[in-house]
Structure 1
Amino acid sequence: MTDVTDLIGTSLDALDTPSLIVDLDIMERNVARIVDACAAGGVSWRPHCKSHKSPDVARLQIAGGAIGITCAKLSEAEMLVDAGIPDILIANQIVGPIKLDRLMRLHSRADIAVAVDSIENVTQLARAANASGVRLRVLIEVDTGTARAGVLPGEPVLALARVIGGFGSLDLAGLMTWEGHTTRIVDPGEKRRAIEQAVGAVVASAQLCRDAGISIRIVSCGGTGTFQTSTMISGITEIQAGGGIFGDVRYRTIYNVPVEYALTVLSTVISRPTPTRIIADAGKKAMSTDAGMPLPLDVPDVKRVGFSAEHARIELNAPHAAPLIGEHIRFVVGYADTTMHLHSEIFAVRGRRIEHVWLIPAAARLR
């Protein structure tokens, strides 16, 4: 079996399909958009790695100006520490003895922070940290309207902060939120006001803690769907926007963010049953359709697209001879976060030349 790294320097035509492709020129422009927004707002960039799950991409983000990396999963953090990245925020609650044991072992190798939103979880973490002889950084997750995890802004934040302060094995580093409920607002002015209101609530909560004599060093928020506004809000210290480096269909068409399409799946036309139908070999097992419908590139007059487990089906408005059986089609990924774990590597190309092969460790994909 061919080592995929042997393909570096060759053409896209050398790839078997389906394959996950990132256009380096486009991705670098997307990175620059986020970095420039952070610089303009005077905030730091701690990008989420759930959209790529790759140590190579994380290193690229650090080289591009990121102060550290945000993770959704403990397994992602373990992968990053193995890759030599020492400053990591796990923007999730770490619960239960198995994960607490893993967290404590990881903490011995890197500077880890985790999100908390309950006295029960705080108590678990404090006991585990105390038993391990470490002091663990925690950030209180604040629910500013997304209605997922998190405590409500204001007094509930202060109350939990006081509980955390009672444990010598915990270091309350700050607060974090995800203003995800604002991302689908179409009107730019209405969206900006909604983001300002949500992020303003976590900023005000941080000040409430400070007024009570509790130090708050980090105030973290902001995904790709909101970074243009969240980077400009006074009181924010860092943002977590990560998926925007790939600029998938979800960010462009649902979140209305001006990022370019960088991430695609290379597929082969395997059947042309009629002059108006194209069947390709990349289905739902190669790219997700749950949060954004993949978009075929350079296919004329598309009427609709559908996906089954192993097939893509493209219906045309009028008969076309092209593309022929055996030719390639590239699909813009609908949503990187729910596509990346379906692959074991990303082929990074410049033009049509493969410049890098970035591996996605299997251990980082789920737990």
Structure 2
Amino acid sequence: MYAELDTPALIIDLDAVRSNVTEMAKTAARHGVGLRPHIKTHKMPELARMQVEAGARGVTCAKLGEAEVMADAGIGDILLAFPIWGEPKLRRLAALRERARVRVSLDSPDVAAGLGRLGGPPVEVLVEVDTGQHRLGRPPGRPTADLVAEIAAVPGVTVVGLLTLAGHAYRSRDAAELAATARREGEDLVETAALCAREGIALREISVGCTPTARYAAGVAGVTEIRPGTYIFNDTTMMRLGVATERTAAARVLSTVIARPTPDRVVFDAGTKCLAADGTGSPGWIRAAGLPHLHLDFLNEEHAVARLEPGHEDELPVGARAQLIPSHACAAVNLFDVAHGVEGGRVATELRVAARGAVR
């Protein structure tokens, strides 16, 4: 299995990537909404360009460092879905605005005031709304409408819309609960925008959607944009939520069996420094592709310790390889300098994870 690659290695199934990118682009087009994928999942300009060529209006970035990498690669329409604070970052944002269209999300007049001092054309901002994750933003309705009015009064910024991330959807127990959370996500923002409009502030952008909710939220009347990220690679979390399958899980860590201490125990050469620690210990949190009888028990920094079901003890001798699907693709990809793109079962190209470690 990919004998030319030393392990552990990050491999990307480019056939699955293209299929995933096309499917989400068609979903957005079918509902008449814009698609602005979050590149924090892949951090690779080549894949961002693939998404744009398939119909995305631009990209979403979490940090300035990611946005700078994307702008350097020719991506010209960027949403920075993170509050920008402090003079060093404001100077970088000013430089970034000279080579790309950049919008910024925020949830405070203090952050808006800093953006307003940049000079030049007003900074377009989206006000973040807390639709249930309880991370950033005020609740929908009156609390957010009041915040929008405060921010709209700040010189040098223009409030163009509302933004949310329904991260609490990851706790959904079934498809019905997931769909309801997604619909509520969109409806909360649409209703809040209507309240703002009645008070004289027209908002043209309603931006929603993580990968689990995007396909549902896209169908809410009034939503204008979805921002899924993980869909390009998927992971075991998306599989658990029913929005991905092993076939559509495109990012995998190729790993080698380095020990068989007992008949049922298998030890691989990839631990938390390759697979990340997200979801540790939950059922199916890391899966070995094509090996349903192998169950990951725990990770250390450099080891993955797994267990074979009875009757399969003769499988996976020392030197055997397996493709381990991570629980959180975004965190796992950020641990590698390069990824190996595979097509038709063969290594086809090498992709640099160009925005790896871009946390500022």
Which TM-score band (shorter chain)? over 0.9
1:144 paired residue number: 131
Deviates more, 1:17-26 or 1:189-198: 189-198
- The answer (yes or no) to whether the contact 1:56–1:359 under 8 Å persists in 2 is no
Asked whether the equivalents of residues 181 and 213 of structure 2 are also in contact (C-alpha less than 8 Å), the reply is no
CA distance in 2, matches of 1:168, 1:124: 10
Q: 1:79 to 1:333 in 2, by over 3 A?
A: same
In structure 2, C-alpha distance between the alignment counterparts of 1:252 and 1:86, rounded to whole Å: 32
**Deviations along 1:126-181, whole A, 9 cap, x unmatched?**
12x23xx3421111011111111012222333333333333442122211111222
Alignment of 1:212-231 (within 5 A): 212-231=199-218
AA partner of residue 17 (structure 1): T
Question: Which among 63, 67, 71 is matched to residue 53 of structure 2?
Answer: 63
Count, aligned residues: 353
**More displaced 10-residue stretch of structure 1: 240-249 or 160-169:** 160-169
Check whether the contact 1:267–1:282 (CA below 8 A) recurs between aligned residues: yes
| Counterparts in 2 of 1:287 and 1:140: CA distance versus 1, 3 Å | same
1:50-129 paired onto structure 2 within 5 Å:
50-127=40-117, 129=118
Equivalent position SS for 1:13 = coil
Query: What is the SS of the residue equivalent to 2:260?
Result: strand
Instruction: Work out which of the residue numbers 242, 245, 261 in structure 2 matches 1:256.
Output: 242
Partner SS, residue 323 of structure 1 = coil
Equivalent position amino acid for 1:78 in 2: E
Once structures 1 and 2 are overlaid, which stretch shifts more, 242-251 or 272-281? Answer: 272-281
Corresponding residue number in structure 2 for 1:14: 4
- Aligned partner of 1:295 in structure 2 is 287
- Counterpart CA distance in 2 for 1:121 and 1:13 is 51
SS state of the match for residue 183, structure 1? helix
**How far is 1:99 from its partner?**
1.3
1:135 to 96, 111, 122: 122
Greater CA drift, 66-75 or 271-280: 271-280
Question: Is the contact between residue 38 and residue 44 of structure 1 (CA under 8 Å) also seen in structure 2?
Answer: yes
Alpha-carbon distance in structure 1 between the residues aligned to 2:356 and 2:94:
18
Amino acid at match of 2:272: K
Match of 2:172 among 185, 192, 200: 185
User: Which contiguous aligned blocks of 4+ residues in structure 1 show a shift greater than 4 angstroms?
Assistant: none
**Cα distance, 1:206 vs structure 2:** 1.3
Match of 1:4 in 2: none
Classify 1:152/1:261 alpha carbon distance in 2 versus 1 (closer, same or farther; 3 Å): same
Structure 2 residue runs without a partner (length 5+): none
Which sits farther off after the overlay, 206-215 or 356-365?
Answer: 356-365
CA contact (8 A) 1:79 1:364 kept: no
Correspondences of 1:170-319 after superposition (within 5 Å): 170-253=157-240, 255-259=241-245, 260-291=248-279, 293-299=285-291, 301-318=293-310
- Alpha-carbon deviation of 1:363? 6.0
Q: Name 1:164's counterpart in structure 2.
A: 151
What SS does the aligned partner of 2:158 have? Answer: strand
Are residues 303 and 326 of structure 1, via their aligned partners in 2, closer, same or farther at CA, if it must alter by over 3 Å?
A: closer
Q: Which runs of 5+ in 1 are unaligned?
A: 1-10
Question: What's the TM-score once normalised by structure 2's chain length?
Answer: 0.92
- CA distance in structure 2 between the partners assigned to 1:86 and 1:263 by the alignment: 26
Secondary structure, aligned partner of 2:51: helix
1:144 touches 1:199 (CA, 8 Å); kept in 2? Answer: no
Provide TM-score, normalisation by structure 1.
0.91
- Which moved further from structure 2: 298-307 or 31-40? 298-307
Task: In structure 2, give the amino acid aligned to 1:187.
Answer: D
Residue 300 of structure 1: how far off its partner (Å): 6.0
Matches of 1:185 and 1:322, distance apart in 2: 35
CA distance in 2, matches of 1:363, 1:276: 36
Aligned residue for 1:341? 334
Cα contact 1:224–1:243 (8 A) shared by 2: yes
User: What is the CA–CA distance in structure 2 between the aligned matches of 1:47 and 1:217, rounded to whole Å?
Assistant: 19
Deviations 1:15-66 (A, max 9, x none): 1111111112222222232122212211111000111111111111111111
Q: What SS does the aligned partner of 1:225 have? A: helix
Quote how far apart the aligned CAs of 1:279 are. Answer: 1.4
Q: Is the 8 A contact 1:179 1:199 kept in 2?
A: no
**Cα distance between partner residues in 2 of 1:201 and 1:300:** 40
The worse-fitting range, judged by mean Cα deviation, of 226-235 and 354-363 is 354-363
Which secondary structure does the structure 2 equivalent of 1:14 belong to? coil
Q: For residues 278 and 190 of structure 1, do their structure 2 counterparts lie closer, same or farther at Cα, with a shift above 3 Å needed?
A: closer
Amino acid aligned to 1:340: V
Deviation at 1:306?
Answer: 1.9
